[in-house]
Amino acid sequence: MGRPITLKQTAEALCHADTFAIVAHLHPDGDALGSALALYHALNALQKHTVHVFCHDPVPEIYRFLPGSTRIRSEAQPRTTYDMAIVCDMSQLSRAGKFEPLIRSARRILQVDHHVPLERFTDLRVVDTRAAATAELAYAVIRALKVPITPEIATCLLTGIVTDTFSFKFPNTTPRTLRIASVLQAHGADLSTINEEVFETRSFSAVKLLGLALSTIQRTPDGRIAWVSVSRKTFEEAGASEDETEGIVNFARSVRGVEVAMFLRETANHKVRVSLRSRGKVNVAQIANRFGGGGHENAAGCTLETTLHEAERLLLKEVQAWMA
Ligand SMILES: [Mn+2]
């Protein structure tokens, strides 16, 4: 498909378009929302005619502090053809949920992403798997547009970086990550407030769920795989919703000797969503891909259409095969 697109060409394509649909992936995280909203603010600064932001799911409570979060639309839209759709933090268009047709009908599509590529749906791509967060790439795009970094943009982008690096603790944090973060802080993003909002503020039901979830922890006899499972019953007991499970997988990962951690939860429509984390050599993106999912080497996810118990069995078998 020809040579990779440069940031300059990306900026030109953005300048030529006048109506935009920015789409974050379903079950959004701070990186998807932060990147999408930063681009939203930047395009508004360029006085574009229409800039809409979409996400299949409502914005989780912990990300409602993001400037512009109330502008995110999750209702299906009447048929409109946008000059450009910008897809943030997703490697497959199916991750856009109900907004996939809206993206496909746009005149051009720009992909801004750092996942292992799974599907090639556009020629206009700012994709780099070495970036810790899509927010790093959104930052590069905004710089190429020569839009000033306002405190709003800085807050959105730094939230993306903080979310995906687990506050600079994951090995995806690079010198470039820290350089960008320092620029964002200098432009008005408040690092301690972001950490407080994303990691240190939970609802009562989320903490209750955390306790119930952690009591289910199991590990293999060799201690290299640990997992936590949450059934519908447990969600009901805690009075918690599916978007209140953020970070639970990291507790399983933190157990000494664990190389692969899994977090399984039963969804309302009786599927099983799985988060995978690894420490060391195991590439969990490849494991997730076996089940139709994807992600990064050390953090990935997938959804299985089966029971919780069967999902545990299938995943364990797959992870053990990869570790053998
Ligand atoms: Mn991301």
Per residue, what are the HEC states of 162-213?
HHHCCCCCCCCCCHHHHHHHHHHHHCCCCHHHHHHHHHCCCCHHHHHHHHHH
Question: How many Å apart are CA 198 and CA 206, to the nearest integer?
Answer: 13
Residues 251-271: pLDDT tens digits? 999 999 999 999 999 999 999
Q: List the domain boundaries for the chain.
A: 7-199, 204-323
In this prediction, residue 245 carries a pLDDT of 93
2 pLDDT more than 70: no
> How remote is the CA of residue 247 from the centroid of ligand 1, in Å?
14
Residues 150-164: pLDDT tens digits? 999 999 999 999 999
> How remote is the CA of residue 73 from the centroid of ligand 1, in Å?
20
Give every CB contact of residue 116 below 8 A, 6+ residues apart in sequence. Answer: 91, 129, 285, 294, 295, 296, 297
Give every CB contact of residue 2 below 8 A, 6+ residues apart in sequence. Answer: 123
> How remote is the CA of residue 238 from the centroid of ligand 1, in Å?
28
pLDDT > 90: percent of the chain? 91
Q: Packing angle between helix 151-164 and helix 134-144, nearest 10 degrees?
A: 150
User: 3-class SS at 302?
Assistant: strand
For residue 45, the surrounding DSSP H or E stretch is: helix 30-45
In this prediction, residue 4 carries a pLDDT of 66
Residues 198-232: pLDDT tens digits? 999 999 999 999 999 999 999 999 999 999 999 99
> How remote is the CA of residue 88 from the centroid of ligand 1, in Å?
8
Question: How many Å apart are CA 50 and CA 54, to the nearest integer?
Answer: 13
> How remote is the CA of residue 164 from the centroid of ligand 1, in Å?
6
* Arithmetic mean of pLDDT, 167-190: 96
Q: Quick one: pLDDT band at residue 77, thresholds 50, 70, 90?
A: confident
pTM higher than 0.85 for the full model?
yes
Please report where in the chains the tokens 């503020």 appear, as a residue. 201
In this prediction, residue 1 carries a pLDDT of 43
In sign, the C-alpha dihedral spanning 62, 64, 67, 69 is positive
User: 3-class SS at 266?
Assistant: strand
Architecture of domain 204-323: Roll (3.10)
* Arithmetic mean of pLDDT, 114-124: 90
Question: How many Å apart are CA 165 and CA 172, to the nearest integer?
Answer: 6
In this prediction, residue 246 carries a pLDDT of 87
Under CATH, to which class is 7-199 assigned?
alpha beta
For residue 272, the surrounding DSSP H or E stretch is: strand 272-278
Q: Quick one: pLDDT band at residue 27, thresholds 50, 70, 90?
A: very high
Q: Quick one: pLDDT band at residue 122, thresholds 50, 70, 90?
A: very high
* Arithmetic mean of pLDDT, 11-33: 97
> How remote is the CA of residue 166 from the centroid of ligand 1, in Å?
11
* Arithmetic mean of pLDDT, 238-262: 95
166 pLDDT more than 70: yes
In this prediction, residue 3 carries a pLDDT of 59
In this prediction, residue 99 carries a pLDDT of 97
For residue 101, the surrounding DSSP H or E stretch is: helix 100-104
Q: Quick one: pLDDT band at residue 243, thresholds 50, 70, 90?
A: confident
Give every CB contact of residue 107 below 8 A, 6+ residues apart in sequence. Answer: 17, 81, 82, 83, 84
Give every CB contact of residue 72 below 8 A, 6+ residues apart in sequence. Answer: 24, 33, 36, 37, 53, 54, 55, 59
Cβ atoms 155, 239 nearer than 8 A: no
16 pLDDT more than 90: yes
Report every protein residue that has its C-beta within 5 angstroms of ion ligand 1: 31, 89, 134, 164
> How remote is the CA of residue 256 from the centroid of ligand 1, in Å?
26
> How remote is the CA of residue 113 from the centroid of ligand 1, in Å?
7
